Structure 1
Amino acid sequence: MASFNLLYIFDPLCGWCYASSQILATLADRWPGQLNMLPSGLFSGAGARTLSTAWAAHAWSNDQRIEAATREVFSIAYRDKVLADTDTAFDSSPINRALTAAQQIDATLEPRLLRHLQLARYVQGENTSSTQVVARLTAQFLIRIGHQIDSVVLARQLASCEALARQTDERIQTTQALMNRFGIQGVPQLLVRVDERTHTLSSKALYQGPAFLMNELRLLLGSEVA
């Protein structure tokens, strides 16, 4: 089988990215060393915004369409605790930085942490635009799998560590350059780099289940994909 890498472009606060996270888990289980997580910055930096009543209504309407199409749960707790809190921001920066910190411990932790934080937001109703909330949830995740970390220290790092902020921004800039190169405007998007060529998979591959995904990959990578 040809040498390949999987490039997953996402934003942590994108509902469609949450809906594709089970397929992401399939990729992470099957090819942990070849999966590259690429944060797009869609809802961070200039893309961050105030969580207004109008934006919350727009987000909830969109989330309901996603749930109907994919059966991923967007709970009432999420609607009432997260979207109703118009004193907070809609900003994926804390999660992006937490993912970068996790990647520096072990790159294979990143997709698992993303799923953990997405479920905390969309099912449990945790405000994952809050640095303190993201630090607490990330520390819980890392401690559970054997990494000792203090959530208070992590919160300070997510809020004010210049090196972590710079590393996260560099990842986003690299992703945006890749998106511009291939004319990608939305997320999530899965790219497959085979030897020196990069292929864009159909968005259906992220929502139609593992069998559909494996068939799409088999077309690119050959019959060794089971």
Structure 2
Amino acid sequence: MVSVAPLRLHYFYDPLCGWCYGASPLLLAAADLPEIELLLHGGGMLSAPHNRRVNMEWRGYVMPHDRRIAAISGQPFGDAYYEGLLRSEARLDSTPPIAAILAAPKLDIAPQRMLAAVQAGHYLHGLEIADPAVLAIIAAELGADAGRFADAYAAALERSATHIAHSRQLMNRLELRGFPSAVLEQDGRFEQLDLGAYLGRPEAFRQYLQQNGAARAETGQAPQCGLDGC
């Protein structure tokens, strides 16, 4: 019997990347497939020294992009985000939510579920996801004990810089230029996927992956955030 090499999906994301939020249903569709090993790589788009605070200039800049993401992907953006968070002075820092996602397996939470919950917290509920207290509430809603979250988060935060650096190095090696990016790996071969063709179409993306990449992937415009900001 011939063994089949595992099919890995490398997903490069940032929790504060709007296009990553738009691609969230694709990631969740991929996670439903038992034949796919899903590997998440947080990129630190707004980690130090690129972290910042929301202001009216930022609001004016991101809102047209967010409305385009909503139109293409069908992902909802809440009034609490548009009229709450984007009118505040909330801190934008990718490292704390990435640490929460790294901590998720220690809490028996799938990393993609934590990522989706963090994204919804930001874009739908207008929460400041750079605040560890907010992340603890999100984790609790996913079933995590508060004490276990605090310990797992602290340990993940210590290794977050190394994780982000590794993600950036792998992106450079694979010649990836932004978030989100997805790459299929099998038998030592890497194939970049054009997620733009599947935005708003998670079932089509699932069907493509079920073919183990044997069929030619659809192509389309692949909107992304850059490595250091949208």
Q: Same fold (TM over 0.5)?
A: yes
* Structure 1 pair 212–140 and aligned structure 2 pair: CA distance change class (3 A): closer
Does the CA contact (< 8 Å) of 2:7 and 2:185 recur in 1?
yes
* Structure 1 pair 157–221 and aligned structure 2 pair: CA distance change class (3 A): closer
Which 4+ residue blocks in structure 1 deviate beyond 4 angstroms?
Answer: none
Does the CA contact (< 8 Å) of 1:139 and 1:150 recur in 2?
no
Q: TM-score, normalised by structure 2?
A: 0.82
Does the CA contact (< 8 Å) of 1:142 and 1:149 recur in 2?
no
Deviations 1:103-157 (A, max 9, x none): 3344x611011111211221222221222111221122134xxxx3338x72x87
State the partner residue of 1:57.
60
Task: Report the CA distance between 1:192 and its aligned residue.
Answer: 0.3
Does the CA contact (< 8 Å) of 1:7 and 1:36 recur in 2?
yes
State the partner residue of 1:100.
102
Does the CA contact (< 8 Å) of 1:201 and 1:216 recur in 2?
no
SS in 2 for 1:150: helix
State the partner residue of 2:114.
113
RMSD over aligned CA atoms reads 2.4
Judge which range, 175-184 or 203-212, deviates more.
Answer: 203-212
State the alpha-carbon separation in 2 of the partners of residues 77 and 32 from structure 1: 38
Does the CA contact (< 8 Å) of 1:40 and 1:176 recur in 2?
yes
| Superposition map of 1:67-146 within 5 A | 67-86=70-89, 88-106=90-108, 109-143=110-144
Task: Report the CA distance between 1:16 and its aligned residue.
Answer: 0.6
Does the CA contact (< 8 Å) of 2:96 and 2:132 recur in 1?
yes
State the alpha-carbon separation in 1 of the partners of residues 81 and 61 from structure 2: 14
State the alpha-carbon separation in 2 of the partners of residues 208 and 21 from structure 1: 10
Task: Report the CA distance between 1:35 and its aligned residue.
Answer: 0.3
State the partner residue of 1:41.
44
Counterpart pick for 1:182 among 152, 157, 174:
174
SS in 2 for 1:30: coil
Paired amino acid for 2:134: V
State the alpha-carbon separation in 2 of the partners of residues 32 and 104 from structure 1: 23
Structure showing the higher helix proportion among its residues: 1
State the alpha-carbon separation in 1 of the partners of residues 187 and 180 from structure 2: 23
Unaligned runs of 5+ in 1: none
* Structure 1 pair 57–213 and aligned structure 2 pair: CA distance change class (3 A): same
State the alpha-carbon separation in 1 of the partners of residues 104 and 35 from structure 2: 14
Deviations 1:149-199 (A, max 9, x none): 338x72x874xx3x4323222211111001111221110011100111111
State the partner residue of 2:147.
150
Does the CA contact (< 8 Å) of 1:205 and 1:212 recur in 2?
no
State the alpha-carbon separation in 1 of the partners of residues 35 and 83 from structure 2: 36
Deviations 1:78-115 (A, max 9, x none): 112211112x2111222111111113344x61101111
State the alpha-carbon separation in 2 of the partners of residues 97 and 34 from structure 1: 21
